[in-house]
Structure 1
Amino acid sequence: MVERERVEFWTQTLVLIRSTTISIAMDFDPLSDAAPSRYAVESDEEDEYNPLQSSTSNGKEHEEFKIKIVGQTQNGRPLIATFGDAGKYWAKGADLGEQTGAVMVNNIQVGLIFSPSWVDATIVVSETFTRLPIAAMAGYASALVDELALPIFPIAILDVYAAPTYISSLPISMHDAPIRYLTKSKQANPGLKNTELFEPPNLIHSTTSAALLSHIVTQDPRSLASLILLPFPRVPAPPPKTLQPSDFSHLTEDEYQWSFEMMNHTHNLLASLTGKFKNPSPVWQKPKHSKPTIGHQSSARSTVGEGGMYI
């Protein structure tokens, strides 16, 4: 009897020791004395840098743009508004004469105003030395139309379209890419016979031109607006987030140089869309002091298969 009780005692003791050992093993954390993992300290998503997340620290996203037109300008005339690379290259050979005014955005010159004697129209060459953020484009377009033109007068806009990504039924090389247009006028213009319509589903990448055309179309049904687009070998860069000071260091450089025939046709087309040439009728002249931008010396010729898009 005593021997049996002794066996039961040691059996219960052994079970108790095993259960205690298991409990201790389950409660023991081998990393309890180690430093916390890096993700536990530095993985707060609110503190991590996100390039797509807007930041309010610099206060630029709520920047106000004050637009004013200065100089001696003639209001209530037909308007020729040119933008970017196309406007810069055309203006160099168009004999615009002396600058008569400017379109200032926050005291930075964005548009140059000319009133040449050979055409009865006001000419604005925009975004050649600095570019507008998206937030400033609507106000800029409104200033051009409301202060320099009237709805009853025609407006011609010159810009570029990306030829390699233009969607068409047949593949078109950069060398054969035509001048394209959009117009609100229902009357056929003889000058458009050598140009082709800018067709959907293609989009205008030059947002300032799009904003100006949209403003014209929605403001007055009587307005006559036309958009002339020159083929460009690349997709234009997106607009900047902030307005930068004018940079005149690349005045003699051009991102792309179109042929004389195309530029002279564009020159005549802009005048025919806004009125008539005065005598004598000028010819667009190839700029003497002009060179391709370093790193972008592209030939006017290209072959099918360099990124052209067609369906």
Structure 2
Amino acid sequence: MKRLLLLPLFVCLLQTVSLEIHAQAPEATAIQDKLHRSNWKKEKIGRGMHWRYYHGNGLYNSRQSINVLDINLNKAAIEVSLAHSDSALIKTSMFARNNGALAAVNGSYFDTKKGGSVVFLKTDGEVKANTIQTMPEYRENAAIAINADGKPAVIRKPAAGWQKTDAQEALASGPLLVYEGKPETMVPQAFNTNRHPRTAIGFTKDNHMLLVTVDGRSSEAYGMSNEELAQLMHSLGCQSAINLDGGGSTTMWIQGKGTNGVVNYPSDNKAYDHEGERAVANCILIRKVSRRSL
């Protein structure tokens, strides 16, 4: 008799646990719903190119400032390339203007005193820099790569090392955020777990490239951990995505928009404005090409 009385209680408890697990499982869907419900400012900036901006309290129980440049690679007449300097530090906006870009975001890690990349960098088929020995592996476990046909992608670091990549251009960074449609597990280090300004690039299943900046270090913009950033990129539809250099380096530039092209709120001047851009050693450029050359 006691067993019969316990059975309904056990079933009830099992249902409760099941409901709790079900409620926690669709985390990406919940973020997706919040993103769709959020008040985004949207603007078309060219064929197959749309710029979106969000500023509000709807994500991660925090105030966020997010820019997304969505480029449909099936339609946009653009090329993706890497700009770099071995000896000088140059602002992303200056890299962009000097190279006739439509848009740009800052690239990967660099020597803040001497300049030059501190992670693997390959341009025009030639290796320009190798990762320094003191760089943690999780911070250069992937790369933004461009093959000989000009197609950009996020690639995982080859088991035999970066020298084995056959990409025409590649810039290592990390951590890898999303791979094969799934968010990656983050190494439990302060670099990942603390909230900072962040820059990321990702690719969707339908061949869109997303350039993303998340502002931070301000009461108007808290920044994100890399786990939150991975969830964001996944919720935006990315099948693959990588974290780039962040902090004071985080910059998005779009020709003719914002303040002298800077549309996010770089934090290097400790003010929530468009003036706090940090000089960097490399960046990712989006340049216009004619349809005839495609």
Scaled by the length of structure 1, what TM-score is found? 0.27
Larger radius of gyration between Structure 1 and Structure 2:
1
Looking at secondary structure, tell me which structure has more helix per residue.
Answer: 1
The structure with the greater share of residues assigned to strand is: 2
